[in-house]
């Protein structure tokens, strides 16, 4: 059994997770991929619960990539069904616990029932303030930037904004994550060492922790281990390290 670290750790305000490895988890056990996704949903519930207990204010989960539409139709239907089930089953509890749900990603091409479900989750929990759960659904970072630039270009064409106003901060205000602090820590499971088009703009100064465990095996101890690793880092944001500065 892994031993937790006893020392007090510095907690990140915002943790984002790339939940990877459901399919490999299932394949290693001779199970269909659908079983891996279902166990992955259980890991989502555990992660949301652990984040709240650990005092994480913002938790962002990469639930469905805009590239995932390329997967087999039956797997897409399974993933969409699990999303619907998660929201319908867990939304009331999240609301009761004071969790605000925020969804990022493109919505124009989504079916009406999915769009309605996402809006219901956001509207019901809009005034909650204990914790924010950000669900990245039909999300791709490059698409997010393109949509933000398009919105700004429309404002510029209408004479609502000048060139002088087109700063990095102004662009950030048009991202899906406007009003949400950038992630302090980004965790990826399954041992893969890449961002996979996730929060490219927001990750400029994030710390990365890549974990070998597959997502269905990610538990409270895994979360604590990632936070402990984060706490050991010297975040400089382009400045000097604490040792050099002192």
Among residues 225, 246, 155, which one has the least CA distance to residue 15? Answer: 225
Flag whether 188 is marked binding.
yes
> Which two three-digit tokens encode residue 135?
């669900």
Flag whether 191 is marked binding.
no
Flag whether 33 is marked binding.
yes
Flag whether 77 is marked binding.
no
Question: CB 228: neighbour CB atoms within 10 A?
Answer: 15
CA separation for the pair 185, 47 (Å, rounded):
14
Strand, coil or helix: 14: strand
CA-atom Rg of the chain in angstroms = 19
Flag whether 14 is marked binding.
no
Residues labelled catalytic: 20, 68
Strand, coil or helix: 80: helix
Flag whether 88 is marked binding.
no
Flag whether 79 is marked binding.
no
Flag whether 207 is marked binding.
yes
| Burial (CB count <10 Å: 0-12, 13-18, 19+), residue 173 | middle
Annotated binding site for substrate: 21-25, 33, 37, 65-67, 69, 71, 188, 194-196
Annotated binding site for Mg(2+): 20, 207
Annotated binding site: 20-25, 33, 37, 65-67, 69, 71, 188, 194-196, 207
């Amino acid at each position: 059994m892994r031993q937790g670290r006893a020392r007090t750790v510095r907690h990140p305000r915002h943790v984002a997770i790339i939940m990877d490895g459901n399919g490999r988890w299932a394949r290693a056990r001779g199970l269909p991929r659908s079983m891996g996704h279902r166990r992955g949903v259980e890991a989502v519930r555990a992660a949301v619960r652990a984040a709240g207990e650990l005092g994480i204010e913002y938790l962002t989960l990469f639930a469905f990539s805009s590239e995932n539409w390329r997967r087999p139709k039956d797997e897409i239907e399974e993933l969409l069904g699990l999303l619907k089930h998660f929201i319908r089953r867990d939304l009331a509890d999240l609301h009761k616990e004071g969790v605000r749900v925020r969804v990022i990603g493109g919505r124009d091409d989504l079916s009406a029932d999915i769009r309605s479900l996402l809006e219901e989750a956001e509207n019901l929990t809009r005034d909650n303030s204990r914790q924010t759960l950000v669900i990245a659904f039909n999300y791709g970072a490059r698409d997010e930037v393109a949509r933000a630039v398009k919105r700004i270009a429309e404002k510029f064409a209408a004479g609502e904004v000048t060139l002088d106003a087109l700063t990095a901060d102004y662009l950030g205000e048009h991202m899906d994550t406007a009003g949400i602090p950038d992630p302090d820590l980004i965790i990826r499971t399954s041992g893969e060492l890449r961002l996979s088009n996730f929060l490219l703009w927001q990750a400029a100064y994030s710390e990365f922790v890549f974990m070998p465990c597959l997502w269905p095996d990610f538990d409270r101890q895994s979360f604590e281990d990632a936070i402990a690793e984060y706490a050991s880092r010297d975040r400089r944001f382009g400045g000097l390290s604490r040792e050099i500065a002192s």
